């Protein structure tokens, strides 16, 4: 049985720029070049074009699922901003996936995932100072960059003291019914996706997490005894991009990789590829994008700018008021 198959799109649709004139820009061209170098060096990486030849942000992701329907295959979708995983994440998650054949999706417990944060709360592992409801787009657990920063710093602090301390955050197996949850890291059997022919309309997160399981008469599961870390959702980026969170994860990973010669070699190769891409930036900028350059409609630009302005104002108001978000051990109940 082929347990895992990776599909890396040339453009990670979730990483498309969210404002101003174009949706394929220099950053995306850098990403494409980086992925090309990765594929040349590591044969397991197979680059796949967006099936419909369009690049329209998250609306472009759903087309890839039609490639994920082979029998006897477990597929894994991983967001491009997963910044840390347990050393044996893949082994544990594949084993869990096979053992829970009644599930449609399975996911590990994710640092900075609204439902994951909610589960830590109701299990009495973490306390946020007050009860946070089970909303996938919760105004704090999903929207507030300051909360996400505090959560990341809590996790990083315990990891920097003891690299095995993540185990105290385990919560066991948790079944999920029809609730939407953020699909930062999810796995499914190709045979299950084949039951819907890999056809995912519109928002893939809503459809896969909330519609397909009840449609097929199954559940989704959190494997709360496996932990990965997710950097940021769009509304959180204004705060997290200015923080030292990524740098701390980088240092954490580098220290862990020093204990494994193979990972050290991979880490060094990645840094070399990144340096190579940066050194050829003018050449890369001059390349023709693989998809048509789509100009964002004026009203859509205005709406995006207005929302960005709202986020900045809300953050500054909270800062002026001295609002602090709490993440600590223990129960809120």
The model's confidence at residue 36, banded by pLDDT at 50, 70 and 90, is very high
- In the structure, what pLDDT confidence band is assigned to residue 11 with cuts at 50, 70 and 90? very low
pLDDT averaged over the chain?
89
Range name among 18-27, 97-106, 224-233, 242-251 with the lowest pLDDT average: 18-27
Give the pLDDT mean for 12-30: 46
Q: What is the pLDDT of residue 24?
A: 44
Longest dimension (CA), the chain: 58
Q: Is the pLDDT of residue 23 over 90?
A: no
DSSP code of residue 211:
I
Domain ranges of the chain: 82-187+205-234+297-333
Please report which confidence band the pLDDT of residue 207 belongs to, taking 50, 70 and 90 as the band edges.
Answer: very high
Q: How confident is the model at residue 250 (pLDDT cuts 50, 70, 90)?
A: very high
SS3 48: strand
Tell me the two tokens of residue 36. Answer: 């090309």
pLDDT at 160: 94
pTM for this predicted structure:
0.89
Helix (H, G, I), strand (E, B) or coil at 153: helix
- Inter-residue contact 60 to 21 (CB < 8 Å): no
The distance of Cα 326 from the centroid of its chain, to the nearest Å, equals: 23
296 DSSP assignment = P
* Bridge partners for 109 per DSSP: 227
Average pLDDT value for residue range 45-66: 88
The Cα–Cα gap between 233 and 228 comes to 15
Residue 194 above 50 pLDDT?
A: yes
First and final CA of the chain: distance in angstroms? 45
Phi, then psi, of 126 in degrees rounded to 5? -125, 150
């Amino acid at each position: 049985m082929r347990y895992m198959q990776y599909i890396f799109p040339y453009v990670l649709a979730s990483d498309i720029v969210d404002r101003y004139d174009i949706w394929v820009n220099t950053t995306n061209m850098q990403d494409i070049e980086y992925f090309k170098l990765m594929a040349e060096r590591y044969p397991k990486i197979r680059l796949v074009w967006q099936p419909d030849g369009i690049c329209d942000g998250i609306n472009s992701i759903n087309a890839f699922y039609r490639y994920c329907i082979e029998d006897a295959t477990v597929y894994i979708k991983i967001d491009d901003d997963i910044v840390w995983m347990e050393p044996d994440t893949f082994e544990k998650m594949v084993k869990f996936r096979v053992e829970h054949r009644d599930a449609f999706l399975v996911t590990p417990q994710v640092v900075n995932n609204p439902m994951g944060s909610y589960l830590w709360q109701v299990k009495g592992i973490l306390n946020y100072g007050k009860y946070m409801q089970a909303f996938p787009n919760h105004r704090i657990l999903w929207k507030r960059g300051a909360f996400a920063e505090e959560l990341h710093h809590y996790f990083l602090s315990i990891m920097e003291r003891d690299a095995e301390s993540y185990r105290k955050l385990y919560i066991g197996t948790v079944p999920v019914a029809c609730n939407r949850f953020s699909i930062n890291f999810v796995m499914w059997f190709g045979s299950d996706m084949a039951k819907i022919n890999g056809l995912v309309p519109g928002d893939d997160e809503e459809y896969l997490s909330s519609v397909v399981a009840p449609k097929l008469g199954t559940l989704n599961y959190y494997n709360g005894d496996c932990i990965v870390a997710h950097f940021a959702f769009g509304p959180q980026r204004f705060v997290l991009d200015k923080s030292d969170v990524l740098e701390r994860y980088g240092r954490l990973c580098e220290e862990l990789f020093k204990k494994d010669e193979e990972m050290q070699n991979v880490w060094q190769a990645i840094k070399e590829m990144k340096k190579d891409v940066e050194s050829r930036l003018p050449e890369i900028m001059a390349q023709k994008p693989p998809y048509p350059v789509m100009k964002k409609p004026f009203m859509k630009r205005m709406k995006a700018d207005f929302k960005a302005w709202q986020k900045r104002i809300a953050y500054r108001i909270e800062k002026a008021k001295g609002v602090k978000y709490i993440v600590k051990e223990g129960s809120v109940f």
